[in-house]
Structure 1
Amino acid sequence: MHTLSPTASSSLSLARGHYIYSITPSSPALFAAISSDDSLRVFDSNTLNHASVAATNIHEGVTLLKTYDAGQQLLSTAGRDGKVKLWDLRGGKSSAVLELETSQQAPVLSIACCPETNSIVAGTELTSYQATVAFWDIRSPGQTRLQYIESHSDDVTELQYHPIHKNIVLSGSTDGLVNIYNTLITDEDDALMQVVNHGSVHHAGFLDQETIYALSHDENFSIYPVTNPDEQTQGPDPVQFGDLRQPLGCEYITQLFISNQGSYIAGGNKLETRLDLVPLISTPTWRFDQENLWRLPGAHGEEVVRSVYLDGQSHTVFTCGEDGFVRAWKPEGTGQADPQSKGDVKVPRKDKKDKEKGRYKPY
């Protein structure tokens, strides 16, 4: 086991009672964050200081923040107002440069971006008995380019493009299904290449070109091969890990993230006030390398960690959570620890009313 030490922390000048949903790079040395006050904030990743409010009331119930392009110059957000927005924060701009809207203003629970094809795809909450996977070409934002409306029967909670083949898209839903589509095919039935029945999907995505993972809302985790409907050969069997909480010693899973450092699953324990980043390795078979996990002691106190990002260049892990703070972590001995974050940190607890107001479903 390795230990990461807290090097900086900041509330980003959020008002008491609010917390931070998600963080992502917005440009070199800058990060962006969305919060329960429906704001979009930008902060300096080196110190977590110099936070600025890029925009307020960006959605009526913001749900998502994603980087649009690899250059991290454009950001995409979505909300329960049924809108997806594209933001260009260069030059001090504070207004959305593009706005998309779902049919029936269905709340957006998942998005994925593909600058190679000028595309954004959004997954909606079940509205009027319909859950939609909607595609837009941002060069023609007035109407959707493609919609799949029959493949899921409940909230669409996850979307991701294939790492190489950008015509292939994965979706996951609380109906239990993980679907893979060939978006070059407009007919929905014919476009569906693969269906995996996993259980109510919290997160899902591609581990590599030929492998996907799925994590359910009750923390069951499995790895599945990507199958080709045109081939008759039998692929590898799924690797089913079951409920991760007991084997990983955690109470909840924040996410699985893939970086140039490898694949890690982030598991939190509120009672023991810690977060563990456990490597997921494929040799000789898929398994969690618990001997080489990275532990963040103190984490965000007794509050849930909502988002984790590993910056390979600065060797820094950034976290945000329901305590209303962003925190930076580095391997022990590489940075000056922040005394406010070190060790078994105690965070002022928010009352249940405030927490439920800020939480969106599914989570």
Structure 2
Amino acid sequence: MESLQKKLEALSVACRSRPEEPTYLLHIALQPHSSSELLAVSCSNFTLHLHNKNTLSLIGQYQGHTGPLSGVTFAHRSTDLLYSASADGTVHGWDVRQPGSKAVQTFKSDESHHFCSFDLNCSDTLLCAGTEQMNNEDSFLVFWDSRKPGAAGSGDGPLGVYSESHSDDITQVCFHPQDKDRLASGSTDGLVNVFDLSRGAEEEALLATCNSDSSAGSVCWSGPDYNQLLCLSHDEGLHLWDLGQLNTEEPLTIYSTSDARSLTPLPGRGGVDYLVGGQWLEATQKLLVVGGMNSGDLHLMECDRDGLRLLRSLEGGHTLTVRCFMWNTVAEGLVTGGEDGQLLLWKGGVELTKEGGKRESFKSESSLRRKSRPHKKHGYGKEKKT
């Protein structure tokens, strides 16, 4: 099996796409299954863009949200469905066979709820959204049965909420890739919680609480059996925990650093300016962590109990902060999006398409920043509560 480093060493910009108007690209989702052709991107102007994942050509866009988007994902089995959530308090389902059409499903909860995180479980039966803190006191995990949506209006209400496990904005909810009842959530209160939803009530469902000692930004499942959790904090801390040790006396922490910028994985150039996110690569059994520089350059690193190791640097692509990435296992390519408004496809053994041209950037305008949820790389997140 070809090593991950060799695969990354071959990467170069194969395709480049730019929106017609300035917008930040916030989240990327790939349509599952090897024969699928689509990827979706959420934008800071509250729209969703649908692209061909091989050419990055724009197929269509969806409009319907009235607030910043907080997540986007394709259904795992019914791959014609695309879901998105927003701070406007709605979760929408879109039919990707009809680009540009109105939402075919709508999920709502209390009118005061503003969603800042969202995910769908691996069986496509359960949706979960995390809310911002309300009344300086409460934040909620809201659950819906995806089989009971509202069509062009409000349908059945939520199945229920969890309200006791977090005391601040819930910045990330992430279902287990293989266990439909396992959920991880992270919050600006510094806690990362793991639930077994099959146990029902919140107190019984809470399996573990890990403390990031800071404001938790993103969480992802990793490890050979997906028994590990990676947490990246808003101040660039990194924590890797082994949940397989929950019923033992062994420590959960595999590796932890309060500030990954203080490390020096970049030969002769110090550390990264920020961390974009992480993704477990099943084919190579490696945890890929992507960091970046304010100039737009990217650094691809491997993370394990020995820390971070640089595998490859990608230069000449983006010109501003990178917000999101996704490794396409089937095509063995990397898709990245950022504040320069560019969507890039990095692949091995290819030349830049004519649509690529030279790289350009959109200037950061005050109106654009108002439309975009403050980025974790720019101080988003409240002070950790004591």
TM-score, normalised via structure 2 length:
0.82
Does residue 1:186 correspond to 2:200, yes or no? yes
Q: Which amino acid aligns with 1:150?
A: E
- Give the whole-Å Cα distance in 1 for the aligned partners of 2:64 and 2:327: 28
C-alpha contact (below 8 Å) 2:49/2:60 kept by paired residues: yes
Indicate the residue corresponding to 1:48 in structure 2: 56
Partner of 2:250: 235
Residue from 116, 127, 140 that aligns with 2:123: 116
Q: Which of 289, 307, 322 is equivalent to 1:305?
A: 322
Q: What code does the residue aligned with 2:47 have? A: S
Q: Is the 8 A contact 1:83 1:105 kept in 2?
A: no
Structure 1 residue 342: Cα displacement: 8.1
**How many Å separate the matches in 1 of 2:195 and 2:92?**
24
RMSD: 2.4
Q: 1:164 and 1:314, CA in 2 relative to 1: closer, same or farther beyond 3 A?
A: closer
Please tell me whether residue 88 in structure 1 is matched to residue 95 in structure 2.
yes
Deviation at 1:340, TM superposition (A): 8.3
- 3-state SS of paired residue (2:111): helix
**Residues 122 and 175, structure 2, Cα contact 8 Å, conserved in 1:** no
Matched, 1:347 2:371: no
Q: Where does residue 268 of structure 1 map in the other structure?
A: 292
Q: Of residues 214, 220, 223 in structure 1, which corresponds to 2:237?
A: 220
Q: What is aligned with 1:336?
A: 351
Q: 2:281: which partner in 1?
A: 259
Displacement after TM superposition at 1:71 (Å) = 5.8
* 1:357 CA drift (Å): 1.4
Q: Would you say how many aligned residue pairs link Structure 1 and Structure 2?
A: 347
* Contact 2:183 2:197 survives alignment (8 Å): yes
Q: Helix, strand or coil for the counterpart of 1:96? A: coil
Cα distance between partner residues in 2 of 1:296 and 1:116: 35
Taking the TM superposition and a 5 Å limit, the aligned residue runs for 1:64-213 are 64-70=71-77, 72-92=79-99, 94-116=101-123, 118-128=125-135, 129-141=137-149, 142-198=156-212, 199-208=214-223, 209-213=226-230
Equivalent in 366, 370, 383 of residue 357 of structure 1: 370
**Per the alignment, in what secondary structure is the counterpart of residue 184 of structure 1?**
helix
User: Is the deviation greater in 144-153 or in 236-245?
Assistant: 236-245
1:159-200 deviations in Å (ceiling 9; x for gaps): 112233322211110000011112123322222111111121
Change (3 A) 1:117 1:316: closer
Deviations 1:13-47 (A, max 9, x none): x31x3222222224612221221222222122222
The residue identity in structure 2 corresponding to 1:20 is L
SS at match of 1:289: strand
Please list the CA deviations of residues 215-252 of structure 1 after superposition, one character each: whole Å capped at 9, or x if unmatched.
110011111121676x4x31334121331113242111
| 2: CA distance, partners of 1:100 / 1:211 | 31
**Which residue identity lines up with residue 327 of structure 2 in the other structure?**
L
Identical counterparts, % of pairs? 25
Aligned to 1:280: 303
SS of corresponding position for 2:367: helix
Q: Is the 8 A contact 2:75 2:124 kept in 1?
A: no
2:335 is matched with which residue?
Answer: 318
Within 1, Cα distance between the matches of 2:49 and 2:257?
37
Query: One-letter code of the match for 1:235?
Result: E
User: How many angstroms apart in 2 are the aligned matches of 1:73 and 1:359?
Assistant: 27
CA distance in 2, matches of 1:269, 1:33: 22
1:116 alignment partner, SS class: coil
Q: Is the 8 A contact 1:280 1:287 kept in 2?
A: yes
CA gap 1:100/1:48 in 2 versus in 1, 3 angstroms: same
Amino acid in the other structure paired with 1:220: G
Query: What letter is aligned with 1:58?
Result: H
* Aligned residue identity for 1:161: F
Aligned partners of 2:326 and 2:252: how far apart in 1? 31
Cα pair distance change 1:34/1:237, threshold 3 Å: closer
> In structure 2, what residue type is equivalent to 1:269?
M
Distance in 2, matches of 1:90 and 1:311, equals 21
SS of aligned partner of 1:190: helix
Q: Is the 8 A contact 1:194 1:227 kept in 2?
A: no
Q: Which stretch shows the higher mean deviation, 138-147 or 87-96?
A: 87-96
Unaligned runs of 5+ in 2: 150-155, 266-270, 377-386
Residue 332 of structure 2 is aligned to residue 327 of structure 1: no
Q: Hey, which of these two has a bigger chunk of strand by percent?
A: 1
State whether residues 18 and 354 of structure 1, in contact with CA within 8 Å, keep that contact through their aligned partners in structure 2: no
Aligned match for 1:29, one of 11, 27, 37: 37
Q: What is the CA–CA distance in structure 1 between the aligned matches of 2:294 and 2:200, rounded to whole Å? A: 46
